Chains A and B, each alone.
Chain A
């Protein structure tokens, strides 16, 4: 199936006192209809900026310096604000982390939902209340009358996040970004919200880009995973293959260092030493090299390109020492 969104070589810069800093540096990805892609990375990896760039929402003074983002035969990075506004909320949509700050505190849920419909489809004004109620039912909020009349603070965190998802998918977008959609929620709710997103992707043929710092949490709900580190893609793979064997030392470290319910219980727990670099102070060569267990001299000098891994068909990794990881996995 063709890609709903095709991002190629995206780069985003921010001015700093020491010159321009590339917060996102050459990120590419595709996502198809009905597919869920997880963009996974830690703070400073550029995952959220990547999504904001596609939506035309990079905060000033940041700016997109290169790249293309094709969506419905148009390069989103070339559209003006008016054209983007017509698409946002309608054809492409986003769910943010904190549902309380994303909802207007003084308007009822019903009003906020019908406003979305009226803004994009003025002709649908009379049908708007019924559609709002149907949208709530779709996200599992069955007590529609009460919720439509409620203000955001009267709902629980889980209900608010469902309302936001209802709002985001109300106009049947072809593409949905979900930026840490469950971080503010409890674990049982996290699972149900991710299940809901996945169900909506399948039912509506919607492409979903799930943005998260927590690989373990989202992996189960994503078809493919793309791991970002310091503004670049370090690995991309089908989820099941990634978990069978990670082919980048950073991904491997992430998987090893996430505490798991069935993990070994001996200390020290496996961990990645050091910390992710600031965008303005990235090490030369591979940005991960100071923390890497596989580091060689060349890693300090050359930035590895994301490339197909020899001996592992269909896998892509940006590591000069990837052959050793492949060999180790076979051993």
Chain B
């Protein structure tokens, strides 16, 4: 058993260069999208990352997924430093950290059936024979609540909620330990949202998955995450247990977020 937490992020910084306003204009300081963010995430735990758009939460996700390179700081997966890895070194690790997108329609190839969408990841990692992959993909589709007869339908033949189920099955195909969920329910109809949250909760219990759950909707994050981190202007301004955060918000910005939520009736 490894003693290191599943994910450990320390003093993470990501800067993006900003264009000058003309070739004679003075140099502009780079934009600090992520500014000294630290948190840890244990196996099987769910951490919510909330903040408004532009707060840097999606950049944190992209850094954790290795889709962006950190300017400084460290990201460790079970103690192993990720920020210094080359592309080739990343490849075998990629299956351990998977992403679920906000917009399932944009994330699925419209020319692939649901089954192929899920089997694709297995093929890229060259896992199993084609027949085994298809069988595995079918199992996954059923495990996220789709019917076997739907496996050969194309993404446009599904509703938004069903497409998100396919996106989740696809992320699970490589048996990751960590799922990064970037606004996974915000594009869904209200009556479907709770279904997907229930599915995510069930999968987490069954598979011992850890979630980094990114959302702007505090009520959704609260439902799934016992710990919540709040980001503003690239900084992590507060990180607390769910109960603590709602009972005694420490940071002014957290209080503002709570005040902006729909009022209880």
User: Given A213-B190, A268-B201, A269-B197, is A188 in contact with B52 using a C-beta cutoff of 8 Å?
Assistant: yes
Report how many A-B pairs have Cβ atoms within 8 Å. Answer: 101
Determine whether A270 belongs to the interface, using a CB cutoff of 8 Å to chain B. Answer: yes
* Neighbouring A residues of B219 by C-beta, 8 Å: 258-261, 263
From B189, B222, B263, contact of A259 by CB (8 A): B222
Determine whether B73 belongs to the interface, using a CB cutoff of 8 Å to chain A. Answer: no
Nearest-Cβ distance from residue A185 to partner chain B, whole angstroms:
9
Nearest-Cβ distance from residue A189 to partner chain B, whole angstroms:
8
Name the interface residues of A240-292: CB closer than 8 Å to any CB of B: 243, 253-254, 257-263, 265, 267-273, 275-276, 291
B194 touches A187 (CB 8 A): no
* Neighbouring B residues of A258 by C-beta, 8 Å: 190, 193-194, 219
A187 touches B190 (CB 8 A): no
CA distance A213 to B190 in the complex (A): 7
CA distance A69 to B88 in the complex (A): 64
Determine whether A328 belongs to the interface, using a CB cutoff of 8 Å to chain B. Answer: no
CA distance A189 to B220 in the complex (A): 18
Determine whether B41 belongs to the interface, using a CB cutoff of 8 Å to chain A. Answer: no
User: Given A243-B265, A269-B197, is A261 in contact with B191 using a C-beta cutoff of 8 Å?
Assistant: no
Interface of B is mostly: helix
A42 touches B198 (CB 8 A): no
B260 touches A187 (CB 8 A): yes
Determine which residue in B195, B217, B218, B264 has the highest number of CB atoms from chain A within 10 A of its CB, and name it: B195
Determine whether B246 belongs to the interface, using a CB cutoff of 8 Å to chain A. Answer: yes
| Interface-facing stretch out of A56-64, A106-114, A215-223 | A215-223
Determine whether A191 belongs to the interface, using a CB cutoff of 8 Å to chain B. Answer: yes
* Neighbouring A residues of B260 by C-beta, 8 Å: 187-188, 190-191
* Neighbouring B residues of A269 by C-beta, 8 Å: 194, 197-198, 223
Q: What 7 pairs between A and B have smallest CB-CB spacing?
A: A271-B194, A186-B52, A42-B189, A257-B194, A259-B219, A272-B191, A188-B260
- By a beta-carbon cutoff of 8 Å, the part of chain B in contact with chain A is 52-53, 159-162, 189-195, 197-198, 201-202, 216-220, 222-223, 246, 256-258, 260-265
- By a beta-carbon cutoff of 8 Å, the part of chain A in contact with chain B is 42-43, 157, 186-191, 213-217, 219-220, 243, 253-254, 257-263, 265, 267-273, 275-276, 291
21 inter-chain pairs at a CB distance below 8 angstroms, sorted by A residue, are A43-B189, A187-B218, A215-B190, A217-B262, A220-B262, A257-B191, A258-B193, A258-B219, A259-B217, A259-B222, A260-B264, A261-B219, A262-B264, A263-B223, A268-B194, A268-B202, A269-B197, A271-B193, A273-B195, A275-B192, A276-B159
